[in-house]
A and B are shown apart, each in its own frame.
Chain A
Amino acid sequence: MISAAFDLPRKDAIVSIRTTSNRGFTPDELAEQCVEKIISISDSAHPAIQEQAKAFSRHVEKVIAYYLRQAIHSDRTTVYNALKDAGNPELAELIRRL
């Protein structure tokens, strides 16, 4: 007989839920999520390696957050120009000031 375990823990949360109110996720929040997907640090790794990995993780998070902010500013510039070219300079200015 061949048997395979194939089920979900009944009570433990399988997925985690992140929510916001009256705003979207900030670049810092997204950067943190991004790093969690990219880097995992084993509990059984040598402490020195863990520290090095954590330092690397913090650095990567800052870099990602910086470029996410740049992406937002860049996209706003694109939206600003699109709205201005479409004859909505006041709305374009509102977007620029966000």
Chain B
Amino acid sequence: MAFTGNFMCTSFKKELMTATHDFTTSTGDTFKLALYDNNASFTAATTDYTATNEVSNSGTYTAGGGTLTNVTPTSSGTTALTDFADLTFTSATITARGALIYNTTAGSGSGTTNTVVVLDFGSDKASTSGDFQIVFPTADASNAIIRIA
């Protein structure tokens, strides 16, 4: 079992049509990013966060992952997009192959760990007693992590 690429979770696509997710800064839902080793096997069918194959607690990384800072959705031309601020775990010894972004806010029909996207880093990424930083792509119509064209 291993990461097999990036996926926009199918459940997330459906939940967008039921107004389950709110990406607004500050007042929106709380999204988290959890890190996994390469034994994790997520697909578009993944619907919830799991602790199985999640990396161990280290430095500021704790089970469940880190809370993301939402960037209020905007539009560019005919494309709607949203983004997250980069996330850094400090003083951490971590080896991760990928990540899961999920919504931890209950309400409006949402569960507490509804998945958004699966991210495959392409290879193991490691920090040793240092910083492990996830850098999100430029928030524009061509690169933002979540875009509706």
Residue ranges of A at the interface with B (Cβ–Cβ < 8 Å): 4-25, 33, 40
How many residues on the B side are at the interface (Cβ–Cβ under 8 A)? Answer: 34
Residue ranges of B at the interface with A (Cβ–Cβ < 8 Å): 5-8, 13, 86, 90-91, 94, 96, 99, 117, 119-122, 125-138, 145, 147-149
Decide if A13 touches B122 in the complex (CB within 8 Å): yes
CA distance A40 to B139 in the complex (A): 11
A9 shortest CB reach to chain B, Å: 6
Decide if B121 touches A13 in the complex (CB within 8 Å): yes
Decide if B137 touches A14 in the complex (CB within 8 Å): yes
CA distance A13 to B130 in the complex (A): 22
B22 shortest CB reach to chain A, Å: 17
Decide if B137 touches A15 in the complex (CB within 8 Å): yes
Nearest CB in chain B to that of A40: its residue? B138
Nearest CB in chain A to that of B87: its residue? A15
Decide if B6 touches A18 in the complex (CB within 8 Å): no
Given contacts A4-B148, A13-B122, contact A19 B131 (CB under 8 A): yes
B127 contacts across to A, CB distance below 8 A: 19-21
CA distance A76 to B105 in the complex (A): 38
- Not counting A9-B6, A20-B130, A24-B130, a sample of 15 additional A-B residue pairs whose C-beta atoms are within 8 angstroms of each other reads A8-B117, A10-B7, A11-B6, A13-B121, A14-B119, A15-B121, A17-B121, A17-B132, A17-B133, A18-B133, A19-B132, A20-B131, A24-B91, A24-B131, A40-B138
